[in-house]
Amino acid sequence: MDSRKLRYSLMMLAALVAFGTIGYYFFEHMPIFDAFYMTIITISTVGFSEIVPLTKVGRSITVVIIILGISVGTYTVGIIVQWLVGGELQKIFGRRKLQKQIADLKNHFIICGFGRIGHIICKELFEDSIKFVVIEQDSAVIEELISLKYLCLEMDATSEDALLAGGIMNARGLVTAVNSDANNVFITLTAKGLRPDIFVLARSSEERNEEKLIKAGATRVVSPYLIGARRMAHVLKRPTVVDFLDIATMGNHLGLIMEEAEVGQKSGFIGKNLIESRLRQEFGVIIVAIKKGSGQMVFNPAPTEKLEAGDVIVVIGQKEDLKRMREIL
């Protein structure tokens, strides 16, 4: 039910009370409180005795109040009942609880836009128990987000207020995936203006807009159409490679996934080479690459490659084994 109906009915009731109070005050010369009291008892209890004898004008005012009072009162009560039965009150408390949960978030992602791209991103994050909040201004989409039990805000993602409400100051990163490249640029600029160091992953619908998003401050830019077209071409040219990547990145019946793990600043593996670390033997993983702190990517690292703090190891293995490995790194 539209809450505006409730507001309008309460406004009409207030206007009726004001009409009666002013009428009795001017035409019956009642004190203001007595005029107000007379109006209230007339609206609520037809036939209640008059507090002072009324003139014809006063009785005319009373008749109008009774007729309108019954109509407005009945309508207002009906709206309130519908409001409660329709779950509007429950929704309000639900939104307040949602706002508190969002305010308590830390090290989370902010997803701007819940279209086809945003939907898939949220699904992947949710399945891995990664915290996120969605900012979306379409009320119908918000209902879907609530049904999926995703934290969400019904706001315009291009506004500073929306990003602040989404907890950008405590966020791990932001994904701008709305349909308009212009809005993605604006969201990126707004996010970087509020927090220059935040990681921003931006969607680009057209390849020519990627540079604009980079200039706006995006850390990474992804063009779904370009990636999709390249993948289709790879399926035609190298189907086995694509199958392998699907197994490694998306998981399959074998339970193998590709994952990354960072060597911590106080890790016991710092200074050890891959042989000494015994990662392959202890966890049964395949070490595909190591991204060094300098940004250099070492593919198929040699057994003598030494691990350093901040190195990110890219591995393939069983999900449980990878989880154990990340805990000790």
**Closest CA relative to residue 43, chosen from 27, 64, 28:** 64
Same domain (yes/no): 129, 173: yes
Q: pLDDT tens, 205-248?
A: 888 899 999 999 999 999 998 888 998 999 999 999 888 888 77
The tokens describing 186, both together, are: 């604006």
Domain presence at residue 304: yes
* CATH number of the domain within which 77 lies: 1.10.287.70
Q: pLDDT tens, 80-139?
A: 777 666 555 566 666 777 778 888 999 999 999 999 999 999 999 998 899 999 999 998
**Closest CA relative to residue 304, chosen from 318, 290, 284, 285:** 290
Same domain (yes/no): 120, 219: yes
Domain presence at residue 99: no
β pairing state of 152-154 and 173-176: unpaired
Q: Give CA torsion, residues 155, 156, 161, 167, to 10 deg.
A: 70
- Residue 305 exposure: Cα atoms within 13 Å on the Cβ side: 17
Same domain (yes/no): 140, 208: yes
Same domain (yes/no): 293, 314: yes
The confidence score (pLDDT) of residue 71 equals 84
Q: Do residues 174 and 201 make contact, with C-beta atoms less than 8 angstroms apart?
A: yes
Q: Measure the CA–CA gap between 38 and 299, rounded to whole angstroms.
A: 87
182 pLDDT band, cuts 50/70/90, is very high
Average pLDDT of the chain?
A: 88
Over residues 290-306, mean pLDDT: 92
Q: How many residues does the chain have?
A: 329
Domain presence at residue 95: no
Same domain (yes/no): 181, 285: no
Domain presence at residue 233: no
Q: Which domain holds residue 170?
A: 105-227
Domain end, chosen from 85, 117, 149, is at 85
Q: Measure the CA–CA gap between 296 and 113, rounded to whole angstroms.
A: 33
- Tell me: pLDDT of 47 over 60: no
How many folded domains does the chain comprise?
Answer: 3
Same domain (yes/no): 33, 71: yes
* CATH number of the domain within which 205 lies: 3.40.50.720
* CATH number of the domain within which 321 lies: 3.30.70.1450
pTM: 0.65
Domain presence at residue 214: yes
Same domain (yes/no): 122, 170: yes
Domain end, chosen from 227, 254, 288, is at 227
Residue by residue, DSSP assigns 147-195 as HTT--EEES-TTSHHHHHHTTGGG-SEEEE--S-HHHHHHHHHHHHHH-
Same domain (yes/no): 200, 153: yes
Domain presence at residue 289: yes
Domain presence at residue 100: no
Q: Measure the CA–CA gap between 201 and 220, rounded to whole angstroms.
A: 5
**Closest CA relative to residue 52, chosen from 78, 79, 25:** 25
Same domain (yes/no): 218, 124: yes
Q: Give CA torsion, residues 12, 15, 20, 25, to 10 deg.
A: 170
- Tell me: pLDDT of 298 over 60: yes
- Tell me: pLDDT of 158 over 90: yes
Same domain (yes/no): 252, 305: yes
Same domain (yes/no): 207, 244: no
User: For residue 9, what are the CA distances in angstroms to 5, 36, 39, 71, 285?
Assistant: 6, 19, 17, 10, 67
Domain end, chosen from 227, 249, 284, is at 227
Same domain (yes/no): 56, 117: no
